[in-house]
Amino acid sequence: MRLRLVPQNTKWDFFSRPLLWLGISTALMIAALVSFSLQGLNLGIDFTGGTTIRTESAQPVVVAEYREALTPLQLGDVSIVEVDDLSFTADQNVTIIKFQAQAGEEAVSADLIRQVQAQLQTVVPDISFVAVESVGPEVSGELITKAVLAVTLAIAAVLIYIWLRFEWQFALGAVAALVHDVVLTIGVFSELQIKFDLAIIAALLTIVGYSLNDTVVVFDRVRENLRKYKKMELKEVLNISINETLSRTVMTSVTTLLALISLYVLGGDVIRGFVFAMIWGVIVGTYSSVFIASAVLLKLGVKRDWSKPDNTSGNQFSNVDA
């Protein structure tokens, strides 16, 4: 017997109150922007500047002991990660220690590095510092600019692709859904003050890809049904298309969430922020693919008779199947 998370041949009406879903999403986006304006983001070392130290020792790494040894130095935000590699020998235990830039200092001082090493030697006498790197304010500012540019270019590329693949109305619907997902993700990080670093930027780009994949599946079925039901109202065509793809959408989201939740629970602190962003992104991405992208398409309208040329809508790529 096949597992079904959604009943077969559903006929649910997703557009009985289209303005309600758009209104809820708009309110949440405004709340996210207000939180971002008032609180900002809890930026990690990647964006605020700081120091990274790579250590080696023969003694096994105990992160709690490392952290306890560094507490008296009051370094602020400290990240301690054990590095595991198949090329390492049994007595080669490597860690990456990161701490934020200290107040009033452009770069870490040699004296502070000696203090850090002395504190760690109280718990790991044979510890050695293999490499010490500092990220200054200028570099961290450049990373912020590149991160914003990366997300913006990704959304712009989606706009162009959907425009060529379908119609401009589909493109605006897809981009509205992506902007919705990105804004809400940034908003929840601002509201909860979860550390925001380069890993979260990677998560945002992954969310854009995931949400787009869901949206394209729905839009592709919409286009097929627009050809099939040429006299049917657009609202009904959208409802049929979403119902026909709903099982695939839900199954994909649930299986992805199962893997992500396992990583969140068992993966440790190192990837927890990234995984949290992905979990949230899958949820809002699935929601936006069904309710936001399609609702925008319903409001904008779309070309109905695909058998005739239309100089005011679409382009030469509209009928190309991927």
If asked whether residues 37 and 152 sit together in one domain, one would say yes
Task: Mention every residue, 6+ apart, whose C-beta is less than 8 A from residue 244.
Answer: 221, 225
- Residue range 60-81, pLDDT digits in tens: 888 888 888 888 888 777 878 7
pLDDT of residue 276: 92
End-to-end CA distance of the chain: 32
Query: What is the SS3 assignment for 54?
Result: strand
pLDDT score of 315 more than 50: no
If asked whether residues 111 and 258 sit together in one domain, one would say no
Query: Any idea what the CATH number is for the domain that residue 246 is in?
Result: 1.20.1640.10
Q: Show the domain range for 76.
A: 50-135
If asked whether residues 72 and 213 sit together in one domain, one would say no
pLDDT of residue 314: 46
pLDDT score of 250 more than 80: yes
Mean pLDDT, range 250-268, rounded to an integer: 86
pLDDT score of 282 more than 60: yes
How many residues can be counted in the chain? 322
Q: Which of 8-22, 105-119, 304-318 has the lowest mean pLDDT?
A: 304-318
Give a yes or no: residue 316 inside a domain. no
pLDDT of residue 304: 60
Q: At what angle do helices 18-39 and 168-192 cross, to 10 degrees?
A: 40
- Under the banding of pLDDT at 50, 70 and 90, the label for residue 6 is low
Query: Any idea what the CATH number is for the domain that residue 86 is in?
Result: 3.30.70.3220
pLDDT of residue 311: 46
If asked whether residues 57 and 39 sit together in one domain, one would say no
- Residue range 15-32, pLDDT digits in tens: 777 678 788 888 999 999
pLDDT of residue 321: 43
pLDDT of residue 279: 93
- Residue range 194-241, pLDDT digits in tens: 888 878 888 888 888 888 888 888 888 888 888 888 778 888 888 888
pLDDT score of 297 more than 70: yes
Give a yes or no: residue 76 inside a domain. yes
Q: Are 129 and 53 in contact (CB under 8 A)?
A: yes
Give a yes or no: residue 150 inside a domain. yes
- Under the banding of pLDDT at 50, 70 and 90, the label for residue 106 is low
Last residue of a domain, one of 135, 158, 187: 135
Mean pLDDT, range 95-99, rounded to an integer: 83
If asked whether residues 242 and 189 sit together in one domain, one would say yes
Q: What's the whole-model pTM score? A: 0.72
Q: Are 280 and 187 in contact (CB under 8 A)?
A: no
Indicate the average pLDDT of the chain: 80
Query: What is the SS3 assignment for 83?
Result: strand
If asked whether residues 113 and 184 sit together in one domain, one would say no
The domain tally of the chain equals: 2
Give a yes or no: residue 273 inside a domain. yes
Q: Which of 115-124, 256-265, 271-280, 309-318 has the lowest mean pLDDT?
A: 309-318
User: Residue 96 belongs to what H/E stretch?
Assistant: strand 93-100
If asked whether residues 261 and 155 sit together in one domain, one would say yes
- Residue range 77-93, pLDDT digits in tens: 787 878 776 677 777 88
Give a yes or no: residue 56 inside a domain. yes
